[in-house]
A and B are shown apart, each in its own frame.
Chain A
């Protein structure tokens, strides 16, 4: 009977084109508005590394003490980054299964191809563990080795886009990349890897692109590659110069640890507290240990990756959808009541209430499907509008995936079916005797 009901629904919708168009438009506009906001929200709130988000932990150490709370510190009086001193100490301790300190940097790249002009590239200084920790895929080659970290080797991993630009997409492993006048050997070319949001460093551009060049942390420090990220020195700038910067209490590096098991997490917490306590004993910290580790999801929440304004907009858009559905419900009701005669005839011919209910509900579903398709088109238009209005990095949140398409269609069908429940119920309640007497 399902296909029969679908064909009846199409016939019925053709019968009164104006009402049908209004119903589809009501649902389509509501779906378009809500899906536009939901798409942005989903991209913002997405788990950027779902298979490991519960195993990767951002590390925070309070190296400023209680005084920082009065100078714009976070609610828990912890900075989002740590100092170079702490970063190197934690790296040397190797207390986690894998760990990496990192910071955002950059350099001028001079291509070997004379036809290409030098240009600036965003880079990230990190340790070799960065790649397996964050499940970075490779197109050519692979990550550098831990020995390269120790040797401060002049090696780099580059992005696929940069490889396309500088090496025309060829396998560039073993080739040389000139950064700020220094040659680096390419050991790997990443496949497409662009986590959104950029969870491992949310300081500058939460939704920005992943860096084009990755370079050993030790090598970047030795080369005095400056931080292109957020440098927060509070009132502890330290001595002048690069060495002074490194040994200051400025926070400018991020630190991540991979802790696969719950016991690893507990042990690492204890290790961090012991480390802070040791700093207190040595006189560097003048306050009790104050450290924190957060997994990726906690970290995104802590960093307010999804702005409250966006949550409110999603709520508003869904409220608008509700209003649209109420309109659609009214139109469906008018349509059903206009067909009371046909319903009475069907009842007289043997249709029970459940059959009428099913027929009308499927008609509501067909309207929802059509509304969903219209809603998809309007969502695409809405996202295009957002792209025109928002910054480049935020436009990365406006991609419409297959999952979003599925959500839009499902949402439309469910919403229209729900909106159709009352009209459908009314249809099933049509009194055939009374209707047939009054025809």
Chain B
């Protein structure tokens, strides 16, 4: 589904070159639920940005759904991002001026879907996250958990091949976080490929696989060490 090989990302100034990712390799298969963990500054967010085609990388290879993304221009990257990737952010990032259904319509409009198709997909995704009754509510009128569900609905509406979740429960209380996590697990059971960045070892443990990043490199944990690491973290 997505494969990064020897990928590097360097931030350069006139005097110093800092590597956020170096010799970074990861392979996520179709239908996998991968948790990405690591200390602050380890490169998790940079990985997610590059995976989501929001940021370019300095070296190596990145294949998304069989396509090599190196050298794509802005238009091609944006189209790929729109068609194949769904984002779920820690801060939800719903557009405050738009109600829930208009927020969900944003990626669908860039995709070029007509009104009927947009409506069908909006209803379907809202129904999937249990927010059909809140379609005309603005983000400010929803709880944090509902906002994140709306954001998940927006991510799902375009039927993406890959869901990228950046601390999806980071701004939620335990109960709401649990609800969102259950939703992600449900999506995974339905076949979605999910990469979730999290600081929370318990949430990471609920993923199918955990990838630990330290100093811009991947340390993949097996099932045993994962649980131990989770316990240590807790």
Contacts and interface: CB of A to CB of B under 8 A. Distances in A.
Interface of A: 1, 4, 8, 11-12, 14-15, 341-342, 345-355, 431-433, 436-437, 439
Given A15-B97, A349-B154, A433 B49 contact: yes
Interface stretch (B62-70, B72-80, B203-211, B222-230): B72-80
Interface stretch (B25-33, B87-95, B182-190): B87-95
The residue in A1, A345, A348, A352 that gathers the most chain B C-beta atoms within 10 A of its C-beta is A348
Given A353-B74, A433-B55, A348 B97 contact: no
A345 B82 CA distance: 12
A8 B95 CA distance: 11
Contact of B79 (A350, A431, A433): A350
Contacts of B97: 8, 11-12, 14-15, 342
B106 A346 contact: yes
A1 B118 CA distance: 14
A355 B79 CA distance: 11
A431 B55 CA distance: 8
A413 B110 CA distance: 26
A12 B75 CA distance: 25
Contacts of B87: 348-349
A439 B91 contact: yes
Contacts of B132: none
By Cβ-Cβ distance, the 7 closest A-B pairs, closest first, are A350-B82, A352-B78, A433-B49, A350-B110, A433-B54, A433-B55, A349-B107
A436 B50 CA distance: 13
Q: How large is the interface on B (under 10, 10 to 19, 20 to 34, 35 or more residues)?
A: 20 to 34
Interface of B: 45-46, 49, 52, 54-55, 74-75, 77-79, 81-83, 87, 89, 91, 93, 95-98, 106-107, 109-111, 154, 158, 166
A299 B87 CA distance: 71
Contact of A355 (B46, B95, B98, B110): B110
Contacts of B74: 352-353
A351 B49 contact: no
B54 A349 contact: no
Contacts of B109: 1, 4
Contacts of B49: 433, 436-437
Contact of B106 (A341, A349, A437): A349
A286 B123 CA distance: 98
A15 to B, nearest CB: 6
A436 B110 contact: no
Given A347-B78, A349-B106, A350-B110, A439 B93 contact: yes
The residue in B77, B95, B107 that gathers the most chain A C-beta atoms within 10 A of its C-beta is B95
B87 to A, nearest CB: 5
Contacts of B79: 350, 352
Nearest to B50: A433
A349 to B, nearest CB: 4
B233 to A, nearest CB: 23
A350 B107 contact: yes
B81 A348 contact: yes
Contacts of B158: 350
B75 A352 contact: yes
Contact of A350 (B91, B95, B98, B111): B111
Contacts of A347: 54, 78
6 contacts: A350-B81, A350-B83, A350-B110, A353-B74, A436-B54, A436-B89
Nearest to B45: A437
A15 B98 CA distance: 11
A381 B32 CA distance: 69
B197 to A, nearest CB: 11
Nearest to A10: B97
A199 to B, nearest CB: 56
Nearest to A351: B110
B95 to A, nearest CB: 5
A8 to B, nearest CB: 8
Contacts of B110: 346, 349-351, 355
A159 B130 CA distance: 79
